[in-house]
Amino acid sequence: MAQPANTFDTNDAVGIREDLINNIYNVDPDVTPLLSAMPKVRASATKHEWQTDVLDTPTADNATIEGDDTVAEAITPTERLDNQAQIFKKSFTITGTMEAVDRAGREKEHTYQAMLKSKAIKTDMESSIFANQAKVVRGSSTAGRMAGIPAWLTSNTSNGGGAADEPTGDGSDARTDGTQRAFTDTLLDAILKSVWDNSGLEPDCVYMGSFNKQAASGFTNSRNLDVQASTKKLTTTIDVYDYDFGVVRFEPNRHIRARDALVVRSDMWAWAELRSLREEELAKTGDSMKYHMIAEATIECRNEKASGGVFDLTTS
């Protein structure tokens, strides 16, 4: 079939109004679970420092002769650790004309862009927290970098390459990637046991990427199988993992390395801010407005013995 001759349709018309709804849809992930869970503290220098300490090794042989003289025992000094503050920055420039025109989906272009850049910086922060990177001292031509969590963990870890792949544990070097292997409940249980043995605390969360979250949902540990009474349906998707010494949450994270599963005690890490996230307007040099969103911060590893990691996991 064809149109009758001289039919006037929308292809010929002039003046049809555009159909543009007054919304903007953005589905890019902007959730930062670990950054949100960490305590926030104040940093006062680009080199942020703290101390850790240990108790004497417990002994069942602490028995003293009545009336015996007291002899001074050796004191182990605290360990002084540090991390480098990292500057996070996003910029945007908007012309005067862009702010003057009628826009769909946002009232002010400046406000909308500031919101986007703020979310983007927070995801950069989360990615840096999980990064297998060593701290870098800043210089006139070198950007300072903080050491990510993998560079701190040594006490409770499992990897595919052995002891030679472990970092020093003070943030000065990164882990060496080893041979990848499948994520199993046996590997995870060994790390959870190690954390319990080496610290007086229990971890609260296990962070992993999407592939290994699906692998974890298939763990056959009978303590985590859920049978719904009404339907007798067996549910094997695990969000809370019950192990011999407590429970931990399974938290999928888009910003962690896909080959890592980190067992974290959140309050044993802190986000130390030298400059909290803020917007600053830059010098005007023409018919445009220049801005940047900027923050300066680092992570504080309060005691790595309360956390751990299963590394070198398969990702497909």
pLDDT > 90: percent of the chain: 69
Rg (CA), the chain: 27
Strands 79-84, 47-52: pairing kind: antiparallel
Say if 11 falls within a structural domain: no
| Nearby residues of 191 by Cβ (< 8 Å), 6 or more positions away | 156, 157, 158, 263, 308, 309, 310
Say if 299 falls within a structural domain: yes
Would you place residue 135 in the very low, low, confident or very high pLDDT band (cuts 50, 70, 90)? very high
How far is the CA of 233 from the CAs of 215, 221, 225, in angstroms? 20, 17, 10
Give the helix ranges, DSSP H, for 20-134.
33-37, 96-100, 109-130
Say if 69 falls within a structural domain: no
CA dihedral 198, 311, 119, 147 (to 10 degrees): 60
- Residue 244 phi, psi dihedral angles, 5° rounding: -60, -25
Strands 261-264, 205-208: pairing kind: antiparallel
CATH of the domain at 286: 3.90.1690
Boundaries of domain holding 212: 33-50+79-310
Domain count, the chain: 1
Strands 308-310, 157-158: pairing kind: parallel
Q: Please give the structure tokens belonging to residue 220.
A: 């056959």
Q: What angle do CA 37, 291, 95 make, to 5 degrees?
A: 135
Tens-digit pLDDT profile for residues 215-266: 998 886 545 545 455 554 444 456 888 888 889 999 999 999 999 999 999 9
Say if 45 falls within a structural domain: yes
Say if 166 falls within a structural domain: yes
Say if 99 falls within a structural domain: yes
pTM for the full predicted model: 0.85
Q: What is the mean pLDDT of the chain?
A: 88
Of 11-20, 70-79, 122-131, which range is least confident?
Answer: 11-20
Say if 272 falls within a structural domain: yes
- Give me the residue label for tokens 């339907």: 231
Instruction: Give residue 103's pLDDT.
Output: 82
Say if 180 falls within a structural domain: yes
| 189-221 as b/e: b if 16+ CB within 10 A | bebbebbbeebebbbbbbbbbebbbebbeebee
What is d(CA 212, CA 199) in angstroms, rounded to the nearest whole number?
A: 26
Tens-digit pLDDT profile for residues 65-102: 999 999 999 998 999 999 999 999 999 999 998 888 88
Q: Cα 276 vs. chain centroid, distance in angstroms? A: 17
